[in-house]
Amino acid sequence: MPHALNDIAQRLLAPGKGILAADESMGTCDKRFDKYGIQKTPEMRRQWRELLFSTPEIEKGLSGVILFDETIRQKTKDGVPFAKFLAARGILPGIKVDQKTEPLPDSFQEEVTKGLDGLSTRLSEYAKLGAKFTKWRAVIRIGDKLPTKQCLHENAKRMAEYAGESQIAGLVPIIEPEVLLHGTHSLLRSEKVLTETLSAVFQEIQKAKVALSGLILKSSMALPGNESGEKASAKQIAEATLHAFFSAVPSEVPGIVFLSGGQTPEEATVRLNEIVKMAKEQNAPWRITFSYSRALQDPVLKAWHGDEKNVQAAREIFKERVEETAKASEGRYTD
Ligand code: 13P
């Protein structure tokens, strides 16, 4: 089993490629549609995903796409299930399996991710629907006294339990402890919280005997808070991020993919490029690439506006976004 899992992980981490996160819940997708007055219906969400998945040549830069429960059950206008459609293009379909968050006991400000109830049943159904990998996201907030140890521990414990179950189902887990960009914290503090978060996660992962070679870490970059007023260069961000990874991520983990977390597409691309270049110089043991949602999709959604006549133009933009980001995943991006 670990071999088969490692094989899937290696395919997801293929050189010059990354992962598209298209696993926004219906609510999140609708919020993005709202911005452009796009109708919030299952059919419009289906058309949006079809626009993305059928863009020519994206398989050159995408190894996988993460889907949401609604999307893995939807089909192209020609009646091909999306998971099958992507697989036929050489793109591995994956699925988000966490189910929102609940308040951390005795805390008003922190949350813990839900989704362990009935998980193994859902995993075997998703495997039958064609999924090859899964994703679980936890949210870590930086604040005056945050995150608490309890928040880090409880989220890490649940994440490790999920990862074990996913591996048993033959699906590669992508563990995503997202340290939020929101706040007034410095780059240094972000690096410290990222290190603590990842240490807590891998402590629980190892306790639960999850195979490190058969999982992928999805991480935030270390970044100054969006209300800090601190300006950090791509080089400083790369240094801080890699410092956290070298302190906390075991070398047996085959790869680390980034979320974009509210950075602009340009920031997310330039910084990824810098991190990858620096990781090579420092002989980092992991393959590093992207698993972006907003940084890949935002300009495309804006161009589409829910209007059939804009599909072609939107696809052009998506193709270009994938190409640029894929270049950055090899440290070859020039703006
Ligand atoms: P962003 O790239 O928009 O942060 O989304 C990535 C993701 O998968 C969040 O769960």
201-246: per-residue pLDDT in tens? 999 999 999 999 999 999 999 999 999 999 999 999 999 999 999 9
What confidence tens digit (pLDDT) does each residue in 97-136 have? Answer: 999 999 998 887 999 999 999 999 999 999 999 999 999 9
DSSP bridge pairs for 96: 135
218 assigned to active site: yes
Domain residues for the domain of 6 are 2-328
In a domain, 320, yes or no: yes
pLDDT at 107: 83
Ligand 1 neighbours (beta carbon < 6 A): 21, 137, 176, 259-261, 292-295
Indicate whether 205 belongs to any domain.
yes
The residue whose CA has the least distance to atom 8 of ligand 1 is 21
Helix (H) or strand (E) holding 154: helix 149-168
% helix, strand, coil for the chain, step of 5:
50, 15, 35
**Cα 241 vs. chain centroid, distance in angstroms?**
16
Instruction: Give domain status of residue 334, yes or no.
Output: no
The question of whether 204 is a catalytic residue gets the answer no
**pTM to 2 decimals?**
0.98
Domain holding 291: CATH number?
3.20.20.70
Identify which of 20, 178, 217 to mutate to test ligand 1's pocket (most ligand atoms within 8 A of the CB). Answer: 178
Q: Which residue has a Cα nearest atom 9 of ligand 1?
A: 259
CB proximity list for 259: less than 8 A, separation 6 or greater: 21, 176, 178, 218, 219, 220, 291, 292, 293
| pLDDT the model gives residue 76 | 98
C-alpha 23 to ligand 1 mean position (Å): 8
pLDDT of amino acid 308: 97
Q: Please tell me the distance between residue 49's alpha carbon and the centre of ligand 1 in angstroms.
A: 16
**The predicted structure's pLDDT at residue 2:** 78
Whether 333 is in a domain gets the answer no
Cis peptide before 147 (omega within 30 of 0): yes
Question: How far, rounded to the nearest angstrom, does the alpha carbon of residue 5 sit from its chain's CA centroid?
Answer: 18
Q: Which class for 311: exposed (0-12), middle (13-18), buried (19 or more C-beta within 10 A)?
A: middle
Domain count, the chain: 1
User: How far are the Cα atoms of 47, 64, 85, 97 from residue 41, in angstroms, in the given order?
Assistant: 10, 25, 22, 22
CA of 332 to the centre of ligand 1 (A): 23
Spans in the chain with pLDDT lower than 50: none
Residue 108: what pLDDT?
Answer: 78
What pLDDT was estimated at residue 40?
A: 98
Q: Is residue 302 part of a domain?
A: yes
Annotated catalytic residue, options 132, 135, 192, 218: 218
For the CA of 23, the closest atom of ligand 1 is 8
Structure token pair of residue 35: 């911005």
Count CB neighbours of 114 within 10 A: 12
